[in-house]
Amino acid sequence: MRRIPMSSEVFIRRHPPAVVSGQTPAAHNILEDIVWHKAGEIAAWRLAEPYEAIDARARHASPARDFVGALAAAAKKTGRPGLIAEIKKSSPSRGILQPNFDPVRIARGYEAGGAACLSILTDERYFGGCFENLSTVRGAGVSCPLLCKEFVVDEYQIARARAFGADAVLLIAAVLSSAELASLTAAAHGRGMAALLEVHSAEEAARVAALPEVCLNPARTLVGVNARDLTTFKVDLGILERVAASPAGHALLHRNVCLVGESGIFTPEDVKRVQQARFGAMLVGESVVKQGDTEAAVRQLLA
């Protein structure tokens, strides 16, 4: 497992700076706070299960399912962007979303309603998730491929995602240098998983579009455009349109890389707006997970 040096491309500080004059440094934003906490989580996981052990477990797990193919098949069948429906208990901006959180019930509702794939939050401190929810949903017989929605900063998390049954993993450009994006994408592909590379601006999209061609294999890589600014958690659906219309967006579409619209999608009109911007898939969380009947919520969104 290679260690990759940090880059000036990334404005998120991956570790807290040294304490000065007894003052504990504060994170600049929510995303930075989350990333700082990850270092301690990963260290604890490594103590409990060394990298070699988790990697062996990952390589002996049931084969990963075709995440990209499932989205493409759904889009072809319905004429709408393929839906990745998200399973999460809470969020830093909205608090508890599902007081009676049952990932299997939610997953079965999503699948019955027409979701092509599922996104499962695995962050415990900020989103009330855990990696065990991946294996629980997969073990319950849900056939939708699963995205591990984690704040990945280390290859250990890639191996852990695969060991718990993930078929795809999220990689956030705001947190990772181009070298890290390339290396971690290769790590995901090497374990049979798809990689969803997430951006929030045309500049980040340009970084992704400039990655080595092998990283942008359209059968194994998607590029998500998040309408939510992860540093403030504010949402602007127009970001999706601006990034898709940028030179980097055109370059990715020209290479047949599926664009995934993320966040801020609440109504069938929003779905049409995303589709008109040439997004082949969409990731939706809050608008469906908060509903008591998740099957009906998905059907209504896709109506």
Task: Choose among 69, 64, 70: nearest CA to 117.
Answer: 70
Q: Tell if the pTM clears 0.85, that is, is over it.
A: yes
- pLDDT tens-digit readout, 36-72: 899 999 999 999 999 999 999 999 999 999 999 999 9
Indicate whether 1 pLDDT > 60: no
- 3-state SS assignment for residue 242: helix
The radius of gyration of the chain from alpha carbons, rounded to an integer in Å, stands at: 18
> Percentage of the chain surpassing pLDDT 90?
79
- pLDDT tens-digit readout, 95-132: 788 788 999 999 999 999 999 999 999 999 999 999 99
The amino acid occupying position 116 is: A
- In angstroms, the Cα distances linking 178 to 2, 10, 197, 205 are 15, 9, 11, 11
What domains are there in the chain, each with its CATH number? 56-301 (3.20.20.70)
- pLDDT tens-digit readout, 133-163: 999 999 999 999 999 999 999 999 999 999 9
Which two three-digit tokens encode residue 267? Answer: 């109504």
The pLDDT, as a whole number, for residue 2 is 41
Strands 168-172 and 194-199: parallel
Indicate whether 23 pLDDT > 90: no
Is the separation of the CB atoms in 81 and 275 below 8 Å? Answer: yes
